[in-house]
Chains A and B, each alone.
Chain A
Amino acid sequence: MRGFGLRVATGAVLLFLYLPIGIIALYAFNADRGQSWPITDWTTQWFGIALDNPTLRNALVLSLEAASGSTIVALVLGTLAALVVHRFRFFGRETVSLLLVLPIALPGIVTGMALNATFNTFHVPFTVWTIVAGHATFCVVTVYNNVIARMRRSSRSIEEASMDLGATTAQTFRYVTFPVVRTALVAGALLAFALSFDEVIVTTFTAGTQETIPIWILNNLRLPNQRPIVNVVAVFLVLLSLLPLYLAQRLTRDGSAAGGRV
Chain B
Amino acid sequence: MTTARAPLEGSPGISRRLQTALYRHRAAQILLLLAPPVGWFGVIYLGSLAILFVSAFWYLDPLTSAIRHDFTLANFQLLLGSSVYRTVALRTIGVAAIVTLLDIALAFPIAFFMARVATGRLRAALFALVLLPLWTSYLVRVYAWRVILGKGGPLDWFFGLIGLPDVSLGYSDLSMVIVFTYLWLPYMILPIFAGLERIPTSLLEASADLGARSGMTFRRVVLPLVVPSVAAGSIFTFSLTLGDYITPQLVSNTQFIGNVVYESQGVVGNVPLAAAFATVPVLVMGVFLLLMRRLGAFEAL
Contact = CB atoms under 8 A, between A and B. Distances in A.
A92 to B, nearest CB: 9
Contact of A238 (B51, B137, B242): B137
Interface of A is mostly: helix
A24 B141 CA distance: 9
B137 A110 contact: no
B143 interface: yes
Nearest to B185: A17
Interface in B52-90: 52, 55
A27 B150 CA distance: 13
A234 B144 CA distance: 8
Interface string A90-113: 100000100110110111111101
B293 to A, nearest CB: 12
Interface residues of A, number: 88
B113 A245 contact: no
Interface residues of B, number: 93
Given A18-B129, A100-B37, 6 more contacts: A35-B152, A81-B37, A96-B34, A111-B48, A234-B144, A244-B135
29 contacts: A7-B117, A13-B106, A16-B182, A17-B133, A21-B133, A21-B140, A35-B147, A38-B154, A81-B37, A83-B33, A99-B46, A100-B37, A106-B281, A107-B243, A107-B258, A111-B45, A113-B52, A113-B275, A114-B52, A118-B51, A140-B37, A165-B6, A169-B22, A169-B23, A170-B15, A217-B140, A217-B143, A231-B147, A238-B137
Interface of B: 2-3, 6-7, 9-11, 15-16, 19-20, 22-23, 26, 29-30, 33-34, 36-38, 40-42, 44-49, 51-52, 55, 106-107, 109-110, 112-114, 117, 126, 128-133, 135-141, 143-148, 150-154, 156-157, 182, 185-186, 189, 235, 239, 242-246, 250, 257-258, 261-262, 265, 271, 274-275, 278, 281-282, 285, 289
